[in-house]
Structure 1
């Protein structure tokens, strides 16, 4: 029995805390939920972008025509179709057309992804067809059949292939910070489970306006896009101005980095906010939670957008990532994959409906990150998140950083997020990032630019051991972002080296 080393109390709490509620998912295929909305309210506005509007009925018809075209090209369930686009209404037509054809979409931002990455994606996902927009036709790698999704297709009824909930809905390529990007195959079952049950559905309903802020190649964009269209809301696709889209929205889904660039005071209509993708600073959470339902969430791409959520109360003693979402589980395990006692730190493993189908063409990584789930039993798998956490006495998960954010400095183990958390407690500091510069030194970055670096450094010295104190604290007006809306740590390290070189001269 995998729990026999625990006390009876910890065995009981392991099951109670670690298992999300069992809830029936109303529709097993996410695009069927959209089709129901299109049939019920064909004249409702599905999307708007830079002054252009598209109704649910017209979006459904255009996606049907594209799906018929894909079927004529030989696309069948189990296939992967590239969606190499920029934020636009044709992006939505392409995404839904691929799903209606029974295939999984493989999204890339054609304006940002370098040619070598597009080549890698085409080869790894074995995409025979790529959808793009006319102005970017020349950027698509040679080999696959290319269709310009912004060109009109002759109407034909959509095919009705036999699609299983265990078929792929999309293939997301992770950022590849530790090597080449890895393709993660996410199924309809996993996607419908998070988007069509609460709290993942975020209470989205007809009349809501969901801002589409994020890169199509980032899995949280699926939360924005399909979360809105499955529930009859209007998707507000941003142009270059993120804040302009946010100002008219009622629902925001973002990374903390993206959200930190939006002023809550300018968004009086926003009633729900969800953040994920990186740790959320407590000041940012408190600020938004005072005016909207603010959900702090966690979960890598491999566990289908997010698998834990918590509505934050600004008066709460802790900012946590909450509990497992419906039909999902979270286990806090030691290095031998045994549950640790409640309240002790371990590595979080995710189980249940959220677990994706695995990496494409990477058996070694699949064996390292996915394992049989001994707690749910035969036929179930769990995923190693590489996130550290512990259960609070109330049964919420406290996120304690990444296993790869635990670094050795002067021979001591340091959790970088712990240093950043102290910096974010300094008055006026909205965001902080701490990085290892070399074997002996840490460097921290804080924003906004008027944070006093000496005060910030003293705060760390008073709260943590000496080896956790950064050699320097650099105030910045803004922290640089990756194309996925996360902190660009490589750019920060380059900036640190440049500034220290100037100081040395």
Structure 2
């Protein structure tokens, strides 16, 4: 395989002249401008304000007499650290950079290995990953002309040991060669980066007064592509509300089955008539536009009837899960202020002491049944309602957890629901929605897709308690056109009874989809299509979608993905759905280039109205859309994604699921994805947790250091758990050592919340001895015993073996400093944190300590060698 390749670009003569002229006018070197452009690109790509890259220096200090006539390789590589203050203007920033470079020249002759030793980085972690080489060969044109010589072209061919190198040759035309490792980068990526570098150089010269945060690194073509081209999703949507669409469908297929639940089924005509009767009763009880009706009901045909009735009355529904704690139910009542609660006699007891003063309607009460029988079953008109039906009115409010611990109610309008079901109809068609499994709790907005999409397409829904019930053998014989679920819950369906899963289309949403899950679905179901769909509640269920056929994702053109799918790459979350725009932005709302992570923002008809009674939070999360028409909004998701070359989004994790271990910023989703690739792992979740130790009561408790360690929670794919050492070795082969979990906890299943999503708070703390132990070797010398005690105390591990790895036990640079202090006090030596980081084991560190003790004894006995004789 080719070890290196190069993409070459060059400024034209006019651009090169302007660059040199601008640098000269402002007292800058061209090298400084180039380094500034490179630093700016690295900052944008990494989303960091401080970057480090290597630069080459001649290594020929002017103070050394005759250095220019000496023959030999004096070149040295040194790290260049650049801070980017985004509010600062370009010229001030470049001048500061040049002054810092001048100040740092005293280190030009210091070997890179020596510079590295001064840092606290492990020996195997480099100081930088890219270098800038500025070639400025002095050519004496007059002397050359005297001898009849003329330099027509200078070509420099260089290779480096770094993944990325920018080799800049200054001449009449400034040329740049971007050398890269083909095993790490696609040529298209480097070509894009070359274009970005050329653009930034042009901007730096064009307007040196512009603030750094105002510089757009994208070319005009790229900017149009990510903002407009890949967001061309406009589709016509019929006027009116979902209720009107449903009533049109009833007129077409009144006798067709609409809802099944167990042995009970109702036709479209029956469902519509029952909903009309109940809607009239609700209106009589004060239900109407912009009012909420709380629903606490079992999953049944009556539940679907009630949902339709609430909408026909013009109101919105508020789902209440009977399994919720009383305290949470009480909060939802006090926050949402529903005008009515629809429930059953059995579940009404759950409301004891909650929602006092709110009227209750028990649907299975005999008197209520008699009243309903007396209500008209014909369709309602606006004359019957307290206010006309409007697409702007609230259709439902679903509460989601809040970062402050206070749930927030997301208000979704009828217009957004219509947009959703119209997209579903065009995407899956009448056949795809002909028989849909409705398995999701009303508290999870996927239920909106499952229930309301089929009923405007002439399809039917099968109401089941949950997705697991669909696969129960006793239910047997169920055939569905479409089943949806959270990946972690659906994986349990496959393990329960895969033969019972006979859906044509499997829609997965709510969690990141792994390659393993896709392979399991291919192998264990009869489905022909798989959809990976993404969307927060604030965007009305779904915002992006990726499709593939179950045989390999490349045979069905309607559902074909442009991205090659392999066994180790998780599928993307796809492209924006109809009437939705997606933006990948940095912290200053600048669009990110293809392949560069950024935060996902959503815009379009599907956006929720906001958070109920939370105007401040609404304004913070639903922000003005600088790329849309005046007055439009976009929602800040908090999810980190990136565009791929096919115009699809790759999901990378949550912006708030980042941790720092040993000073490195880590996206936990990246570790989870690697663990999921191991053949013995069915599912994995990684958290950053405070280190634990065994307390006096024998229970696990925080060790008080406040430092985090990575903890992996693993569900095994087979009957026997893989060993931590096996998984650690596997991860270590793919990720840096600071991303290898310090502890592993094996679970039978990942804990799920009421909506079927992973409940991270329910993951147990690891036992103090859950860290990796490859085989305990006890200390055998006094030095080893003292060191083991120090390690055990500061690493919060009960028993330390002399061959246990410092990093695998949760060690990091901060703990190395604490350990060094204790060692120096115990042995009266002068070790450095680097000694601990390099030794890695008690055995090796004991030798270092003993050598230091001997040297100290020799110094005391014979002096330090500097005394005069």
Q: Residue by residue, what CA displacement relative to the aligned partner does 1:298-326 show, whole Å, maximum 9, x if unpaired?
A: 11100110100010354614410001101
State the match for 1:284 in structure 2: 517
In 2, the alpha carbon distance for the partners of 1:473 and 1:200 equals 45
State the match for 1:118 in structure 2: 329
State the match for 2:735 in structure 1: 464
Q: Which has the higher contact order (CA 8 A, sep 6+)?
A: 1
Instruction: Give secondary structure in 2 for the equivalent of 1:62.
Output: helix
1:418 is aligned to 2:670: yes
State the match for 1:332 in structure 2: 584
State the match for 2:380 in structure 1: 159
Instruction: Give secondary structure in 1 for the equivalent of 2:222.
Output: helix
Q: Which of 634, 642, 649 is the matching residue for 1:397?
A: 649
Instruction: Give secondary structure in 2 for the equivalent of 1:305.
Output: coil
Relative to structure 1, the CA distance from residue 420 to residue 230 in structure 2 (aligned partners, 3 Å threshold; closer, same or farther) is same
8 Å CA contact 2:715, 2:750 repeated in 1: yes
State the match for 1:427 in structure 2: 679
1:7 is aligned to 2:259: no
Higher mean C-alpha displacement, 392-401 vs 407-416: 407-416
* 1:200 positional shift: 7.3
Q: Residue by residue, what CA displacement relative to the aligned partner does 1:424-476 show, whole Å, maximum 9, x if unpaired?
A: 11113221111112233111122235351332222211111112111122333
Instruction: Give secondary structure in 2 for the equivalent of 1:312.
Output: strand
State the match for 1:192 in structure 2: 418
* 1:386 positional shift: 0.4
State the match for 1:312 in structure 2: 548
In 2, the alpha carbon distance for the partners of 1:179 and 1:54 equals 41
State the match for 1:35 in structure 2: 247
Higher mean C-alpha displacement, 51-60 vs 303-312: 51-60
Superposed, 1:426-505 pairs within 5 Å as 426-438=678-690, 439-448=707-716, 450-453=720-723, 454-494=725-765, 496-497=766-767, 500=770
Q: Residue by residue, what CA displacement relative to the aligned partner does 1:150-169 show, whole Å, maximum 9, x if unpaired?
A: 45313324532322211111
Q: Which of 461, 469, 476 is the matching residue for 1:235?
A: 461
8 Å CA contact 1:386, 1:402 repeated in 2: yes
* 1:145 positional shift: 1.0
State the match for 1:261 in structure 2: 492
- RMSD across aligned C-alpha pairs, in angstroms? 2.4
Higher mean C-alpha displacement, 258-267 vs 44-53: 258-267
Q: Residue by residue, what CA displacement relative to the aligned partner does 1:256-289 show, whole Å, maximum 9, x if unpaired?
A: 1111112284246311111111111211123325
State the match for 2:530 in structure 1: 294
In 2, the alpha carbon distance for the partners of 1:134 and 1:206 equals 37
In 2, the alpha carbon distance for the partners of 1:206 and 1:400 equals 30
1:148 is aligned to 2:362: yes
In 1, the alpha carbon distance for the partners of 2:767 and 2:291 equals 46
Q: Residue by residue, what CA displacement relative to the aligned partner does 1:31-55 show, whole Å, maximum 9, x if unpaired?
A: 3222222222222222122212122
* 1:16 positional shift: 4.2
Instruction: Give secondary structure in 2 for the equivalent of 1:342.
Output: coil
Q: Residue by residue, what CA displacement relative to the aligned partner does 1:200-257 show, whole Å, maximum 9, x if unpaired?
A: 7533449822112111111111111112222222211114624237943221111111
Superposed, 1:77-116 pairs within 5 Å as 77-110=289-322, 112-116=323-327
Relative to structure 1, the CA distance from residue 95 to residue 199 in structure 2 (aligned partners, 3 Å threshold; closer, same or farther) is closer
In the superposition, the TM-score normalised over structure 1's length comes to 0.93
Higher mean C-alpha displacement, 64-73 vs 261-270: 261-270
In the superposition, the TM-score normalised over structure 2's length comes to 0.55
Q: Residue by residue, what CA displacement relative to the aligned partner does 1:320-347 show, whole Å, maximum 9, x if unpaired?
A: 0001101110000000111112221100
Relative to structure 1, the CA distance from residue 207 to residue 196 in structure 2 (aligned partners, 3 Å threshold; closer, same or farther) is closer
Relative to structure 1, the CA distance from residue 200 to residue 286 in structure 2 (aligned partners, 3 Å threshold; closer, same or farther) is farther
Q: Which of 60, 79, 87 is the matching residue for 2:272?
A: 60
State the match for 1:303 in structure 2: 539
Relative to structure 1, the CA distance from residue 214 to residue 200 in structure 2 (aligned partners, 3 Å threshold; closer, same or farther) is farther
* 1:64 positional shift: 0.5
Relative to structure 1, the CA distance from residue 228 to residue 198 in structure 2 (aligned partners, 3 Å threshold; closer, same or farther) is closer
Relative to structure 1, the CA distance from residue 50 to residue 190 in structure 2 (aligned partners, 3 Å threshold; closer, same or farther) is same
State the match for 1:170 in structure 2: 396
8 Å CA contact 1:70, 1:98 repeated in 2: yes
8 Å CA contact 2:711, 2:744 repeated in 1: yes
8 Å CA contact 1:17, 1:323 repeated in 2: no
8 Å CA contact 2:745, 2:770 repeated in 1: no
Q: Which of 41, 51, 58 is the matching residue for 2:263?
A: 51
Instruction: Give secondary structure in 1 for the equivalent of 2:346.
Output: helix
Determine which structure has more spread, i.e. the larger CA radius of gyration: 2
Instruction: Give secondary structure in 1 for the equivalent of 2:679.
Output: coil
1:385 is aligned to 2:640: no
8 Å CA contact 2:433, 2:453 repeated in 1: no
Instruction: Give secondary structure in 2 for the equivalent of 1:422.
Output: helix
* 1:108 positional shift: 1.6
Report the structure, 1 or 2, having the larger helix content.
2
Question: Any unmatched runs of 5+ in structure 2?
Answer: 1-213, 383-387, 554-564, 691-706, 772-796, 800-869
In 2, the alpha carbon distance for the partners of 1:122 and 1:488 equals 24
In 2, the alpha carbon distance for the partners of 1:57 and 1:451 equals 54
Relative to structure 1, the CA distance from residue 56 to residue 134 in structure 2 (aligned partners, 3 Å threshold; closer, same or farther) is farther
In 2, the alpha carbon distance for the partners of 1:27 and 1:44 equals 25
Relative to structure 1, the CA distance from residue 3 to residue 101 in structure 2 (aligned partners, 3 Å threshold; closer, same or farther) is farther
Relative to structure 1, the CA distance from residue 266 to residue 443 in structure 2 (aligned partners, 3 Å threshold; closer, same or farther) is same
Higher mean C-alpha displacement, 152-161 vs 92-101: 152-161
Instruction: Give secondary structure in 1 for the equivalent of 2:283.
Output: helix
State the match for 2:440 in structure 1: 214
In 1, the alpha carbon distance for the partners of 2:432 and 2:587 equals 46
8 Å CA contact 2:433, 2:481 repeated in 1: no
Relative to structure 1, the CA distance from residue 206 to residue 489 in structure 2 (aligned partners, 3 Å threshold; closer, same or farther) is closer
Instruction: Give secondary structure in 1 for the equivalent of 2:248.
Output: helix
8 Å CA contact 1:128, 1:143 repeated in 2: no
Instruction: Give secondary structure in 2 for the equivalent of 1:441.
Output: strand
Relative to structure 1, the CA distance from residue 219 to residue 207 in structure 2 (aligned partners, 3 Å threshold; closer, same or farther) is closer
Relative to structure 1, the CA distance from residue 366 to residue 410 in structure 2 (aligned partners, 3 Å threshold; closer, same or farther) is same
Superposed, 1:368-383 pairs within 5 Å as 368-383=620-635
1:249 is aligned to 2:470: no
